[in-house]
Structure 1
Amino acid sequence: MKELGGRIRRALSTRMGFFVLAVALFWAKTLWAYNTKFNLGSTGSFQHLLLALNPLPTTILLFGVALYMTGRKSYVTMLLIDAVTTTWLFANILYYREFSDFMTFALIKGSSSVSNNLSTGITNIIRPSDFLVFLDLIILIVVLAFKLVRVDMRPVKKRVAMLISLLAVLLFGANLQMAYHDRSGLLTRTFDNNYIVKYLGLNVYTVYDGVKTEQNSAVMDKAKASDLDSVKNWLKKNHMSGNVSYRGVAKGKNVIIFHLESFQQFLIDYKYDGKYVTPNLNKIYHESDTLSFDNFFNQVGQGKTSDAEMMLENSLFGTSEGSAMSQYGTSNTFQAAPAILAQSQGYTTAAFHGDVPSYWNRENTYKSWGYDYYFSKSYYKDKKGYEIGYGLKDKIFLKELTPWLEQLPQPFYAKIITLTNHYPYPLDKKNVTIPKTKTGDDTVDGYVQTAHYLDQAVGEFMRYLKKSGLDKNTMVVFYGDHYGISDNHKKAIAKLMGKKTFNDFDVAQFQRVPLMIHMNGLKGGVNHTYGGEIDVLPTLENLLGVDSSKYIQLGTDLLAPNRNQTVAFRDGDFVSPTITKVGSEYYNTQTGKKISHPTKAQKWQERASLNRTTTMLSLSDRIIQGNLLRFYHPSGFTKVNKGDYNYKLSATKKSLKKLQEKKKTSLLYKNGNKSTIDDYVTDAPELSGSSNSSSSSSSSN
């Protein structure tokens, strides 16, 4: 045994021996991470073989660079390459845990717009076992530092180094051929990064993403007006007129959009510990003057909240990587809801958010979309204890925004972005009014508490609307922006839903989020049509009497009869009333059973829905990445000039005062310039005993 140990030590004390050790350790830890930290969905012996093979080619190629160097420089280079690639793997483990996806250069490029409070999420994401990915690096450093293996100063022959590089290339070629055998078009027709990592590895995915990012930059430079022809032809063939009986029923009404952060449909009528989690939203959902949709899905990608906003305001998808708002919000031409309503019907438009204006590049994007006002964090009183997680607590935020809301000349279009129900769902004890769930998953168990708090805040706001009289002339829209609990928590979700298991089909169905359109006198009810966030804008336009047919919008009115009910997901999957696609599998939507032997009719439906899904995603990407709307000039619409908007506090005060005197339609003006803030009642403990007038209300006169 001692002799064997000596032989191993002597072998490792050669340059090639150390190289083999480094590659083997890196391969082992990467394979461990693939199987324990990611959900790549490998099935069958062939895919498991590919998963085991794919770390080797790039590891050999990268580590092999050190073999071209001499002496200690070779060892240091190998360790540096190991450190850099390991750090990238570690970063992806953390990102994947929260977003079920891998990092992209586009995301990194826009990271400054989402960096605020990022540490709040990271500290809750990291697990001790994540640091095991650095174990191989530590082992290599230790064996060198304690001279368990000696540094081999002899150079490696260039011919040997080149043969090793060639071996890496040949292994990659074999890997790629095997991958294409199992999934043709892997690199040319995919919307899911998991497939690339599963078949080719994280390092190849990184290179692939870098190439795509560079290509996307080139697309915009090369785009021309004729590129819109295919978009217009598809829209012409697939145009669906809005529901005639609802056309214009809300014309001239104020519109308030409630962006319910991370709020999922299952929370409606959900009870825990004998108590409804969302009693206020339940009431609104079931009222006779509320149009509610129980098969409404989020369709976001990596951009999550920003993707939801992109669809809501533009009826265009977010991009396949990163956030469209972060990447294109400043530079692109848009024809968004705020500008459409302002130009066609004289609406005043405003967005309200309790965090910094740079988040998701909102300050620049909102100017591109034509928002007159953006009331971000600096507009509200902010004392110790007012914030939690990603900004102002919802109860405080909603009360603080009302002095600004009452100054908006009517009709107005106002989007309110809530924050408290945001991962990792923290809530201080004084605001907790419902116990945590007991799934054993810390990420999941606080979700009902922050959702309940959000619901209470909504209830307070709705009571204010009624007391102030705004409800008589206002349409309020509530929608959930994206999932709150990701598919990395299947066991916990199963417990919440009272199910024994929770498979991929269940995850797809779990993407339902609420959509409620509430207005006095509206003919309501629960609508069962299948639709998604891409369809909200055309639906609202029909209700408001706006002709959506002249704009480039990919969604359709949710109330339109005989509409196509295929809901496209950003990764290329889809759901419809009959068939659901998840990865390469198809399911019967009604039974949840996998369709192993599809009928002729089912095959036709699968092809038709897949074609519609991929076409819509491709057209949307083409529009955004090529900035094609700069070439499109709908009648009656003037291109938004971003220079016309200034979101500084002093500029906003001046503009609002001037506009109120000119239009004489704001709630404040109609109330004899007396604020309605006293009509707002909240039980927020942070505000108990404080004056009803806030810094914002006192500055509004």
Structure 2
Amino acid sequence: MEYSEESFSLRFKNLSIKKSTLLQIILSIYFFVVILMKSLYFAENLSNRSSEIYLNIFSIILIISITVLLRPKKSFIMLTVIDLLISILLLANNLYFRYYYNLLSLYLVKQIGVVGKIEGSIKALVTASDLLYFADFLFTIPIYYFCFIKHKILEEKKKDFKARAITCIIMIIISIVGLSQKLLVIKKNTPELFTSIYDNNYIKERTGIFVYEAFDVYRYARDVFEDKQAKTKDTIQQFQDYFANKPKGESAYFGQYKGKNLIMVQMEALQGFVINSKINGEEITPNLNQLAKDSLYFDNVYVQTGAGNTSDAEVLANTSLYPVSQGATTEQYGNNTYQSIGTLLKKEGYSTFSAHGFHPEFWNRINMHKAMGFDKFYSSNELSMDETLGWGLKDNSFFRQCVEIMSKERKPFYSFLITLSNHHPYEAYAAISDFDVSGVEGELMQNYLKSVHEADKAIGEFIQELKDAGLYDNSIIVFYGDHEGITGNDIENLNSFIGIDEDDEFQHREYEKVPLIIHLPDEKLKGTISKTAGQIDIMPTVLNLMGIKPEYEFGSDILNVENNLVVLRDGSYMDDNYMYFRDTDHYYDKKTGKILTNAPSRKEEALSQLQLSDLIFELNLLKEIE
């Protein structure tokens, strides 16, 4: 028997209310499957934990449940909007993770305004596979057209709210029971999980992206409305006890370079493996290699940055505090009171300035640098943008202008310089480089090595300019890397270049290190120091040489410390003997790189430092104890 198109449509119009509701449920199941598949794809890109998948299932049921209350057409539209928003959320987090190895947070909302300024880096992170987040719309749009426009299959003449309400309640109960059961187990195993101690990725890996996002909203609202005054009173004693018990006393080399100028250079994306390495017989960083020979070269310095990346490195090096667990420290606490290199040197009569060839509002440097004791911050507003490259002012011009500023500064001075040209995706410097990288796998890896080589040339020019200006022999000069240069999808090319196993987490951590070089005026102190250290140790190490003992610092003077504890933002840590990964709960022998079944734990010490540092920022404790 044949049916005309009109009779086909009519038969569906005459469906009973119950069948109509059933079809609505079927479409809800369609969206459930679609969103679940996207969350699985997202989890696969970042990690793949059974607990994450389990919680995502019940989270999606809860999200969808409310839409069941709506009539079919409105429900479908609402689910489509939710699907689109989730797709955008997952893609945004995926892109952010590829570069920062962390997740987005409401604490980063102030950075939205600078997205247009980093468009090049964002484009470089996007891959064709990212279209999978939106592939379902190839089916969703035709389904909508077929059901609600052409045939109007689910158009109802009567209300059937009771059936929808029952369905909604059942879905909510199922999701709450499922979520509660799993979250209670997670809470029991990791009591501190929902505190400020851990980084965003650590929380997401254990709870799933949807629970993480809900928690991010909760903690942001909590921080906005929480009574800080009562919390401050309880924390001050804890703060004073911790630093009162920290070892003090005279140290070797104390004050040996008192009164000297201090020039500190934070190098963009300078990873440690490039130092003293060659490609096709040519040194990648000949100028830094020579400087390292004439200086104290620390080759065992670990990256401790969090979501703030470059700006976190500035905080670590200048204040010896840990970056906060969520968002960028500089964005949230740019008006706090700090004990920093700048504030302490100003008390000794130093003039201070910082400089960066980019927009002053980026990472809120315009406020944060003032809070860290810099009399003046030179940005793209003050510097002559006569040679631009990539993101902003070319390093060569940047260094030249900074030397001119130093020459005019009242002596002694502290200058803090943040380079820019060697920035992801590394195409700008690479485009003007003739450095031979043939045989290196991966375009971004090739560009990175070319870019680092050009950045090193700029450093060579900078050192010569300091000598010509008569500043080199009367200044402590510090160079250090801010964070890794190769991350995300390009790690496999780094593995190939270095020759390590892609699944070896110990070796990966070892090659994420950054160089630290401290050149001293008389060059009496020099040589390679392989003690375990972190960026947080830069301030106490430099200030000890200058005869200053800070009162409140989490770092240690590398030249004097033994078995130094270096804590990462996710709760992992390492010392001279062991390395601990919070994510996998693995301990490694630092000397052999082998997993240990039993090792002395310093977890409590590590977590207490992170927690107290967070409270120093959150409650502005250094202002309270002034």
C-alpha separation in 1, matches of 2:430 and 2:481: 25
Query: The residue matched to 2:476 in structure 1 has which SS?
Result: strand
Cα distance per residue 1:551-583 (max 9 Å; x no partner): 22111211115x341110011001122111112
Give the one of 341, 346, 352 matched to 1:342. 346
CA contact (8 A) 1:438 1:445 kept: no
Give the one of 211, 219, 224 matched to 2:232. 224
Aligned residues: 602
C-alpha separation in 1, matches of 2:495 and 2:305: 23
TM-superposed CA distance for 1:221, in Å, is 4.9
Give the one of 243, 246, 254 matched to 2:251. 243
CA contact (8 A) 1:240 1:557 kept: no
Which amino acid is 1:237 matched to? N
CA contact (8 A) 2:55 2:208 kept: yes
Which amino acid is 2:558 matched to? L
1:261-272 alignment runs, 5 A limit: 261-272=268-279
CA contact (8 A) 1:487 1:507 kept: no
Q: Which residue of 1 aligns with 2:467?
A: 466
Q: Does 1:371 find its partner at 2:371?
A: no
TM-superposed CA distance for 1:272, in Å, is 1.0
Q: Which residue of 1 aligns with 2:308?
A: 303
Cα distance per residue 1:48-80 (max 9 Å; x no partner): 3x3432222121111121111224222211211
- Segments of structure 1 that go 5 or more residues without pairing to the other structure are 1-5, 634-701
Residues 264 and 428 of structure 1, relative CA distance in 2, 3 Å threshold: closer
TM-superposed CA distance for 1:222, in Å, is 4.0
C-alpha separation in 1, matches of 2:97 and 2:488: 11
TM-superposed CA distance for 1:228, in Å, is 2.1
C-alpha separation in 1, matches of 2:573 and 2:101: 17
1:425-504 alignment runs, 5 A limit: 425-427=426-428, 431-436=432-437, 438-486=439-487, 488-504=489-505
Cα distance per residue 1:320-345 (max 9 Å; x no partner): 01111111113x122222121011x1
Cα distance per residue 1:9-52 (max 9 Å; x no partner): 989981111111111121122212211x21x2x4xxxx43x343
Normalising by structure 2, we get a TM-score of 0.91
Residues 207 and 438 of structure 1, relative CA distance in 2, 3 Å threshold: farther
Which amino acid is 1:292 matched to? Y
CA contact (8 A) 1:107 1:323 kept: yes
C-alpha separation in 2, matches of 1:578 and 1:628: 33
Q: Which residue of 1 aligns with 2:592?
A: 591
C-alpha separation in 1, matches of 2:299 and 2:456: 18
TM-superposed CA distance for 1:515, in Å, is 1.0
CA contact (8 A) 2:352 2:375 kept: yes
Which amino acid is 1:578 matched to? N
Residues 222 and 127 of structure 1, relative CA distance in 2, 3 Å threshold: farther
C-alpha separation in 1, matches of 2:434 and 2:54: 51
Q: Which residue of 1 aligns with 2:5?
A: none
C-alpha separation in 2, matches of 1:18 and 1:462: 67
C-alpha separation in 2, matches of 1:307 and 1:79: 38
C-alpha separation in 1, matches of 2:204 and 2:152: 34
Query: The residue matched to 1:514 in structure 2 has which SS?
Result: strand
Which amino acid is 1:623 matched to? I
Normalising by structure 1, we get a TM-score of 0.81
Q: Which residue of 1 aligns with 2:604?
A: 611
TM-superposed CA distance for 1:219, in Å, is 5.7
Q: Which residue of 1 aligns with 2:572?
A: 573
Q: Which residue of 2 aligns with 1:505?
A: 506
Residues 273 and 151 of structure 1, relative CA distance in 2, 3 Å threshold: farther
CA contact (8 A) 1:242 1:557 kept: no
TM-superposed CA distance for 1:423, in Å, is 1.0
1:306-325 alignment runs, 5 A limit: 306-325=311-330
Query: The residue matched to 1:250 in structure 2 has which SS?
Result: coil
TM-superposed CA distance for 1:390, in Å, is 2.1
C-alpha separation in 1, matches of 2:568 and 2:438: 29
Which amino acid is 2:368 matched to? T
Q: Does 1:327 find its partner at 2:335?
A: no
C-alpha separation in 1, matches of 2:137 and 2:532: 50
Q: Which residue of 1 aligns with 2:515?
A: 514
Q: Which residue of 1 aligns with 2:219?
A: 212
CA contact (8 A) 1:480 1:514 kept: yes
Larger displacement relative to structure 2 (480-489 or 157-166): 480-489
Q: Does 1:233 find its partner at 2:241?
A: yes
C-alpha separation in 1, matches of 2:67 and 2:176: 16
RMSD over equivalenced CA pairs, Å: 2.5
CA contact (8 A) 2:430 2:448 kept: no
C-alpha separation in 2, matches of 1:362 and 1:214: 25
Cα distance per residue 1:484-525 (max 9 Å; x no partner): 112553321211212344521112212311111102223211
Query: The residue matched to 1:295 in structure 2 has which SS?
Result: strand
Q: Which residue of 2 aligns with 1:676?
A: none
TM-superposed CA distance for 1:429, in Å, is 6.3
TM-superposed CA distance for 1:94, in Å, is 1.0
Residues 106 and 86 of structure 1, relative CA distance in 2, 3 Å threshold: same
Q: Which residue of 1 aligns with 2:422?
A: 421
TM-superposed CA distance for 1:181, in Å, is 6.7
C-alpha separation in 1, matches of 2:501 and 2:318: 39
The alignment-based identity, stated in percent, is 28
C-alpha separation in 1, matches of 2:564 and 2:430: 43
C-alpha separation in 1, matches of 2:438 and 2:414: 37
Residues 203 and 481 of structure 1, relative CA distance in 2, 3 Å threshold: same
Residues 512 and 429 of structure 1, relative CA distance in 2, 3 Å threshold: closer
C-alpha separation in 2, matches of 1:86 and 1:97: 17
Residues 536 and 190 of structure 1, relative CA distance in 2, 3 Å threshold: closer
Q: Does 1:277 find its partner at 2:297?
A: no
CA contact (8 A) 1:388 1:426 kept: no
Which amino acid is 2:342 matched to? P
Cα distance per residue 1:174-208 (max 9 Å; x no partner): 33245457656543485143343233221110011
Which amino acid is 1:312 matched to? A
CA contact (8 A) 1:256 1:475 kept: yes
C-alpha separation in 1, matches of 2:519 and 2:85: 53
Q: Which residue of 1 aligns with 2:177?
A: 170
